[in-house]
Amino acid sequence: QRKGFPFDVINAALEQTEYENDDEAEMEALKAHAEKAIRKYRYDGSYESGMKVKQYLFRKGFSIDDIDQFLQEEE
């Protein structure tokens, strides 16, 4: 016997769930994590430190486009 919930229960729950993509909240989260990464990796605008910050933010789940946009605004 399989553990967990049946697929029809899972699908019904997912249909009832409303997903919101709050861009403003996501950018605030990106800014907070980026500030931490900038301090941690001592971001100075160099390629190496920039890549470390990008990798950190990418591992946190942010899109590469949002990361690039944020770093360009910071420079």
Q: Domain map of the chain by residue range? A: 21-74
Q: What are 24-73's pLDDT values in tens digits?
A: 889 999 999 999 999 999 988 889 998 999 999 999 999 999 999 988 88
Domain covering 21-74 assigned CATH 1.10.10 in the classification: yes
Q: How far apart are CA 39 and CA 41, in angstroms?
A: 6
Question: Which is nearest to 64 in space by CA: 56, 54, 74?
Answer: 54
The region, left, alpha or beta by phi > 0 then psi within -120 to 50, assigned to residue 9 is alpha
Q: pTM value? A: 0.68
Helix spans in 1-75 (H):
7-16, 23-40, 47-59, 64-74
